[in-house]
Amino acid sequence: MPQQAPLYIVASPRPRVGKTLIARLLVEFFRDNGRALVGYDLDPREPTFAGYFPDLVATMNIADTPGQMALFDRLLAGIPRTTVIDLGYGPFEQFFDVMTEIGFVQEARRRSIEPIVLFVTDPSPGTVRAYADVRRRLETTAFVPVHNEAVSVMYEKADFPPSRGEYGVIRIPRLSAIVRGVVDRPSFSFGAYMTERPGGPTEIHSWIGTIFTEFRELELRLLMGKLGASLSDSVVGKLSATLRSGR
């Protein structure tokens, strides 16, 4: 099986739910793993994500056709790399409209790129509807809900079913307000903080550690999910039997 490059789309139809924070964490997680990486910030008015990684993240405006070509054609060109898109609430609808209309997912797969939607949830009915809607339109695409505890304490699992049960949900724990202020500084780097700051573990250390563990497990679950989808049940059964006996 050829190496597949994941295309993470961090999305929500609502502002201020932590999309950019999650996109940043993903970029730093992959960068720490030494992965070839590229990012896109789809909010041309306020490209916060691009501001954190000027060398890695390009700002794109998909409001018109040339902008759509700049993004989608570029995503499909060249050697597939791990990609993180921070999809602002502004272009949310447009992005998924274009994506479905041009048949992006099939073409991406043909080029060994696997789109994964990380959908940042919130309890508003509009968001629940938007989730159901895009999931229906992109039936074969992996959807993993993200619960940002800083946005809402409550999380109704039934509102945001992942596209495969085992994908679960990514939980982003709440940070205290003071610490959040530190993390939001433009020069702050999660990876650097983890390695450079000696001394006992702080709240931020364990917070970053928790999230990076979530990401690591997510990648494993996605891989298993893909195996499960691409192999027949009997093969999977045999494989897991082999794994068990080998243990």
Partner 1 sequence: MAKPTVVVVGADKGGVGKTTVARTLLDYFTAHHVPTRAFDTESPKGTLKRFHPDISDIVDVTSVPDQMRIFDTLSTTDASVTVIDVRAGLLSPTLRSLRDIGFLEAVKKGQLNFAVFHILGSSIASLNEIEDTSAFTTDAKYFLVKNYFNNTSFFEWDQPTHAAYFKRFKDAVEITIPKLNEMAYEQVELASVPFLTFVANKNAKGDAANYSFVLRGYVRHWLGNVWGEYDRIKLNDFVASAAAPAGGGPRVQVVRTAQ
Residues that bind partner 1 (CB under 8 A): 65-66, 68-69, 72-73, 76, 98, 100-104, 106-107, 139
Query: In angstroms, how far is CA 133 from the centroid of its own chain?
Result: 18
Shortest gap between Cβ of 105 and partner 1 (angstroms)?
10
Classify residue 236 as left (phi > 0), alpha (psi -120 to 50) or beta: alpha
Q: What whole-number distance in Å separates Cα of residue 119 and Cα of residue 131?
A: 8
Of residues 70 and 236, the one with the C-beta less far from partner 1? 70
Q: What whole-number distance in Å separates Cα of residue 63 and Cα of residue 70?
A: 11
Of residues 27 and 71, the one with the C-beta less far from partner 1? 71
Q: What whole-number distance in Å separates Cα of residue 120 and Cα of residue 144?
A: 9
Closest CA to 144 of 113, 120, 118, 105: 118
Shortest gap between Cβ of 189 and partner 1 (angstroms)?
34
Of residues 140 and 240, the one with the C-beta less far from partner 1? 140
Of residues 69 and 229, the one with the C-beta less far from partner 1? 69
Strands of the 142-148 sheet, one edge to the other: 57-59, 37-41, 82-87, 5-11, 113-120, 142-148, 170-172
Element (H, E) at 96: helix 92-101
Shortest gap between Cβ of 63 and partner 1 (angstroms)?
13
Shortest gap between Cβ of 160 and partner 1 (angstroms)?
23
Residue whose structure tokens are 């993993």: 144
Of residues 97 and 219, the one with the C-beta less far from partner 1? 97
Shortest gap between Cβ of 69 and partner 1 (angstroms)?
5
- CA torsion sign, 40 to 43 to 49 to 53? positive
Of residues 89 and 104, the one with the C-beta less far from partner 1? 104
**Cβ neighbour number for residue 69 with a 10 Å cutoff:** 11
- Structure token pair of residue 177: 């307000």
Shortest gap between Cβ of 125 and partner 1 (angstroms)?
25
Three-class secondary structure of residue 75 per DSSP? helix
Of residues 76 and 236, the one with the C-beta less far from partner 1? 76
Shortest gap between Cβ of 99 and partner 1 (angstroms)?
9
